[in-house]
Amino acid sequence: MTRPLPAAPATATPDVLDEIVKRPQAVATVDAKPSLLGLTRDKLAFALSSIGVEDRHIRMRVNQLWHWMYLRGVADFASMTNVSKDLRAKLAEHFVVGRPELVAEQISVDGTRKWLFRFPSRGAGRPVEVETVYIPEEGRGTLCVSSQVGCSLTCSFCHTGTQVMVRNLTAEEIVSQVVVARERLCDFPAAEKAEGALPAEGRLVTNIVMMGMGEPLMNYEPVRDALLIFADGDGLSLSKRRITLSTSGVVPLIPRIGAETGVMLAISLHAVRDDLRDVLVPINKKYKLAELLQACRDYPGLSNARRITFEYVMLKGVNDSPADARELVRLLRGIPAKINLIPFNAWPGSAYECPDWDTIEAFAEIVNRAGYASPIRTPRGRDILAACGQLKSASERLKVAERLALEAMMASGGDDD
């Protein structure tokens, strides 16, 4: 029998998406100096022009700075040895290569790492904090990057959704999560002897997923610019097939992000009926399943070699029945897809539970028989609240009672037994 669902939280989805897309993004500043990190090549060229670099030299200088910032991981202009002394001095006078404050670093028993980064307030109020997670696996290392402080979508099963939306991150702040993570993992030539860096036993950042705090498409331009920087072949140089953007379903912007970046797409689906998805993923009240799936079918470059990943958090007695599995197969018919089944990761105060393993495997078997790959995602980093759906910045710290409840939950093995 299906148990009663919690009441759906009021959705905070803005009605005017054009305002989100077109809103100009100021260059982020640290100590009153603009940062060059996170600027696209065109914006970097403009910044150089603004301090008097001659037009005929700008392309060369952009390439030099790009190499030092993203290939070498250098944050000090004085170390950029193929740039003239005079220009290095001028760059240091006007700009920085920004880094966030690293507040905390946690390492799970399974090798997962979680960093808490602090950024300036960008206005009145206190600085803000976000979490970034590194997941080492055989043959690859995946970095889960945040795009907002908090989240406006209030998905009822997600710990991040319980944190109020504070603000969007700038492109600099998104890119800097990757840069600092690579420094901490000794994944830059210049970071090999960085003070306090923790060796990652040869595991490097090979994949980036925009699946951290926030809804990436509600912060469109900074996310787009960051994705292009990640994929630039002369810098961080990740294959577009190793960069994945996950969205809960901001339908009008799905084809646009595909056309402008060419990265892989993941959809936070979690339900096969509109009435249930309205509760689990409230943006569904605005963009129904039929619209979302049509946007998936229209995603630029979609093919069997570039499948869409559908994320499906398994919730006990809510969306885990054989009937749900069969309907999922029907809904996705004709879409080149992979279905990630995610055992629910418990957090204090949640109204949901994880199904038993037999239920999850029976669900996966139905999907597999229909010809879809449906791996069951192994929970990672649960002991440091780094698993899927558990991120919540220390801007809203757990109360003592919540922390004790979490520790007890982790000690008993969670909900998968």
Count CB neighbours of 330 within 10 A.
Answer: 10
**What's the count of helices (H) and strands (E) in the chain, helices before strands?**
12, 13
Cα 328 to Cα 302: distance, rounded to the nearest angstrom = 19
Q: Name which of 237, 290, 235, 243 is nearest 265 in CA terms.
A: 243
Mark whether 131 is an active-site residue. yes
3-state secondary structure of 336: coil
Mark whether 101 is an active-site residue. no
Cα 350 to Cα 416: distance, rounded to the nearest angstrom = 15
- Residue 167 near residue 27 (C-beta atoms within 8 A): no
Q: Name which of 67, 69, 141 is nearest 99 in CA terms.
A: 69
Q: Name which of 41, 54, 106, 56 is nearest 382 in CA terms.
A: 106
The encoded tokens of residue 270 equal: 């979690």
Q: Rounded to the nearest 5 degrees, what angle is found at the Cα of 241, between the Cα atoms of 257 and 199?
A: 115
- Catalytic residue, from 144, 151, 155, 388: name it: 388
Phi, psi of 51, deg, nearest 5? -105, 15
Strands (E), 138-200: 140-144, 148-149, 167-168
- Residue 65 near residue 77 (C-beta atoms within 8 A): no
Judging by DSSP bridges, how do beta strands 243-247 and 207-210 pair with one another? Answer: parallel
- Catalytic residue, from 131, 172, 173, 215: name it: 131
Query: Would you please indicate which residues are annotated as catalytic (active-site) residues?
Result: 131, 388
